[in-house]
């Protein structure tokens, strides 16, 4: 749960947002597409969710340049019933379709109390938690899910079948940012295997398997990851992954995760359509808001005062990221050297301006 | 995931339902309360979910006789918006309130596409999956959740804070019973610690802790269970438990799990109010039903044909229980000796008739 330190360059959220939106627009993306991606990745990075933050932008630029993503999608919303709607992403960036789904879901839930909005013909949308959090910042509770291409073995299996299929839940909390749970239903991210090959360090026990399905801590023998719960209780993580997959496919009209081409594949010319699922709840319909806030506040207060193991602290979902967000708001958002260099190279090609930054280690201002 | 064999007596679902309903009514329960409990526990037992099946009836009878549960509750439904409603259980059996919530939720979701129904001033409702499954058997998808009194330590903590807070998801599947995920967000049920003390066998690794929060496999040292994900990744299980708790408390108007008196406590005179949360989705609003069925069918077929580890088989959520349900439909439902004797004792006190049965081992018909 700890945030891994990043060596590279520090920049502000405002500068990074403007920079990323400018790069994507220079690459041909519509202004609303570019702004949605910038908003999503900077929101993730500002909270320390670096795996799903600015780091993804060079990859998104490859998608844009290759044609996998529609640069100027005609995103449309269809209301299917009083409390249900569908967003057609038109193969554009999933971030745009997902923010739209939340916005439309809020409008439906304001009246109906709850709304379910699916998105289809979409693409990678970064951190699912971004969208649940956006709803909660507007006073609504939300669940956000996406399915993805296979990376996780089913319980008792040997080959990847499920995506990392995250579940996010956000709820407004009195006097602070919303509580946010944002978790993959896999035990670890798939790319941690490759990271551990680079660093030469073993994987945690009970998270990855060999091609024969044997649990291994050797990153060179591991080829797939287990669902959360591991070899003993992975049927729980796999069951949650199944739920996410069905809600994001059968309900959205997309194929299930096993039918999705590899998102990490190097053919950037072909669209890889995926689906998302969003649920929005209007707390004011369920309870008087003062009562609701008091309940959530009491839950968080009781949880945070629980006795902890030596050297630890009992925290609520998202507390680690809240503390990191405060640090980053004060010190800047760190971007790793590889990502920074890649963005700078794109900026040069596109004739965009690189924003001011300073190295993470020296604390001195770098030349822009 | 395997179903543990039970030594005792075999009886039919129809006979057990009638017997249990008769016992509860003889104990003073209203006919609708008695029938709801019988339906729920026999449904669970018929699928091999013995922990939450007929085994619970002697406990429910204690609650009824002690006064913890209102024998003749006035269960009411309040529509709060087009797609939201609340069931007041009036301190009656949670089973009655939960079936009512599903019924009302289906009515709302039929029009609105989705509905959220909370239940409050409720009590234990057995297996949460029973209610999601009831919706799915009627052609709707559903999520069912309940919170409970503390049994699970928060991530990094030493003392129980969360209930076992299950998440259930059911969806109609073409040509077979609905797919059902029904999982506690704890690694193991709390009472497995006590079971392992009785049998003298160690607990699995990474599921239980000492009063100091140290992971232990010694059932005599263990005093609490970890969330699913264990010591390494238990923040995921704990995060899901937090989501369940908030949906079942702040949204239903009940206090959060930590404020709930021990359900296993021996004072049966005092009510212990808890909340549940149900979400119902109408697939026909999202997609043409033929398309929807084809998607779910393709998901299940692809999953079940995945390569498995030696001696294993890749299964969908609920497949183990489906196979067991077929066996039990043919051979009868096994009830353990202790439960059977307790029910027979109650039947004698109340002047009820014990149904026909035969011992599980001999295969011969016992005298009724």
**Per-residue pLDDT averaged across B245-267, rounded?**
96
Q: Round to whole Å and give the CA distance between B285 and B289.
A: 9
Write the pLDDT tens digit of every residue in A298-333: 999 999 999 999 899 999 999 999 999 999 999 999
- Asked if A177 and A275 sit in the same domain, the reply is yes
Q: Which helix (H) or strand (E) holds A8?
A: strand A8-11
- Asked if B213 and B75 sit in the same domain, the reply is no
**Per-residue pLDDT averaged across B263-280, rounded?**
96
From B179, B209, B225, the end of a domain falls on: B225
Chain B residue closest to A143 (CA)?
Answer: B243
| In a domain? residue B164 | yes
First to last CA, chain B: 33
Chain B residue closest to A284 (CA)?
Answer: B251
Q: Round to whole Å and give the CA distance between B247 and A143.
A: 11
CB pairs under 8 A between A and B: 283
Assign A335 a pLDDT band (cuts: 50, 70, 90): very high
pLDDT at B368: 37
From B225, B243, B273, the end of a domain falls on: B225
Q: What percent of chain A has pLDDT over 70?
A: 98
- Asked if B197 and B89 sit in the same domain, the reply is no
Q: For position A146, which CATH number holds?
A: 3.30.1370.60
Write the pLDDT tens digit of every residue in A146-196: 999 999 999 999 999 999 999 999 999 999 999 999 999 999 888 789 889
Q: For position B220, which CATH number holds?
A: 3.30.60.50
| In a domain? residue A329 | no
| In a domain? residue B140 | yes
| In a domain? residue B313 | no
| In a domain? residue A323 | no
- Asked if B162 and B272 sit in the same domain, the reply is yes
From B225, B251, B271, the end of a domain falls on: B225
- Asked if B85 and B212 sit in the same domain, the reply is no
- Asked if B15 and B127 sit in the same domain, the reply is yes
Q: Which one-letter DSSP state was computed for residue B366?
A: B
- Binary contact (B251, A292; C-beta < 8 A): yes
Higher pLDDT, A366 or A269: A269
Q: What burial letters (b/e) apply to B255-291, b meaning 16+ CB within 10 Å?
A: bbbbebeebeeeebeeebbbbbbbbbbbbbbbbeeee
Q: Shortest Cα distance from B182 to chain A (angstroms)?
A: 8
pTM over 0.90, yes/no? yes
Closest C-alpha among A63, A80, A59 to residue A28: A63
Strands B114-122, B84-88: pairing kind: parallel
pLDDT at B279: 99
- Binary contact (A314, B233; C-beta < 8 A): no
Mean pLDDT for all residues in chain A: 95
| In a domain? residue A312 | no
- Binary contact (A243, B286; C-beta < 8 A): no
**Per-residue pLDDT averaged across A9-21, rounded?**
98
- Asked if B252 and B352 sit in the same domain, the reply is yes
Residues of A in contact with B321 (CB under 8 A): none
- Asked if B243 and B217 sit in the same domain, the reply is no
First to last CA, chain A: 33
Q: Shortest Cα distance from A8 to chain B (angstroms)?
A: 28
pLDDT at B347 over 70: yes
- Asked if B127 and B199 sit in the same domain, the reply is no
- Asked if A193 and A82 sit in the same domain, the reply is no
Assign A199 a pLDDT band (cuts: 50, 70, 90): confident
- Asked if B202 and B268 sit in the same domain, the reply is no
Assign B194 a pLDDT band (cuts: 50, 70, 90): confident
**Per-residue pLDDT averaged across B266-284, rounded?**
97
pLDDT at A1: 57
| In a domain? residue A311 | no
Q: What percent of chain A has pLDDT over 90?
A: 90
- Binary contact (A298, B256; C-beta < 8 A): yes
Q: What total of structural domains would you count in chain B?
A: 2
- Binary contact (A286, B213; C-beta < 8 A): no
Burial of A320 (0-12, 13-18, 19+ CB in 10 A): middle
Residues of B in contact with A238 (CB under 8 A): 317
- Asked if B135 and B211 sit in the same domain, the reply is no
| In a domain? residue A326 | no
pLDDT at A368 over 70: no
**Per-residue pLDDT averaged across A98-106, rounded?**
98
- Binary contact (B309, A157; C-beta < 8 A): yes
- Comparing CB atoms, the residue among A181, A251, A296 nearest residue B286 is A251
Residue A56 lies in domain:
1-66+334-368
């Amino acid at each position: 749960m700890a945030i891994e330190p990043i060596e590279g360059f520090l920049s502000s959220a405002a500068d990074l947002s403007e920079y990323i939106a400018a790069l994507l627009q220079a690459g041909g993306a519509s202004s609303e597409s570019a702004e949605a991606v910038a908003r999503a990745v900077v929101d993730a990075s500002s909270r320390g969710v670096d795996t799903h933050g600015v780091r993804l932008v060079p990859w998104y630029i490859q998608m844009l340049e290759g044609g996998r993503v529609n640069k100027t999608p005609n995103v449309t919303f269809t209301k299917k019933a009083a409390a249900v709607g569908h967003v057609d992403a038109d193969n554009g960036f999933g971030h745009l379709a997902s923010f739209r789904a939340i916005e439309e879901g809020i409008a439906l839930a304001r009246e109906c109390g709850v709304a379910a909005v699916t998105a289809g013909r979409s693409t990678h949308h970064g951190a699912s938690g971004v969208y649940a959090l956006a709803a909660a910042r507007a006073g609504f509770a939300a669940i956000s899910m996406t399915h993805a291409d296979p990376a996780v073995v089913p319980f008792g299996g040997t080959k990847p079948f499920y995506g990392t299929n995250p579940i996010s839940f956000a709820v407004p909390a009195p006097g602070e940012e919303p509580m946010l749970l944002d978790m993959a239903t896999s035990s670890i991210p798939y790319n941690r295997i490759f990271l551990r090959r680079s660093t030469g360090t073993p994987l945690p026990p009970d998270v990855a398997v060999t091609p024969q399905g044997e649990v291994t801590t050797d990153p060179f023998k591991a080829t797939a990851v287990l669902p959360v719960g591991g070899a003993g209780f992975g049927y729980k993580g796999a069951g949650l992954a199944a739920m996410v997959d069905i809600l994001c496919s059968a309900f959205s009209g997309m194929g299930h995760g096993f039918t999705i081409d590899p998102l990490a594949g190097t053919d950037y010319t072909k669209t890889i359509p995926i689906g998302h699922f969003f649920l929005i709840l209007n707390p004011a319909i369920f309870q008087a808001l003062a009562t609701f806030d008091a309940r959530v506040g009491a839950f968080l207060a009781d949880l945070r005062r629980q006795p902890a193991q030596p050297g630890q602290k009992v925290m609520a979902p998202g507390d680690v990221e809240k503390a990191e967000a405060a640090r980053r708001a004060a010190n800047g958002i760190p971007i790793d050297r590889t990502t920074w260099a890649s963005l700078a190279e794109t900026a040069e090609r596109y004739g965009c301006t690189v924003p001011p930054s300073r190295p993470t280690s020296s604390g001195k201002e770098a030349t822009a």
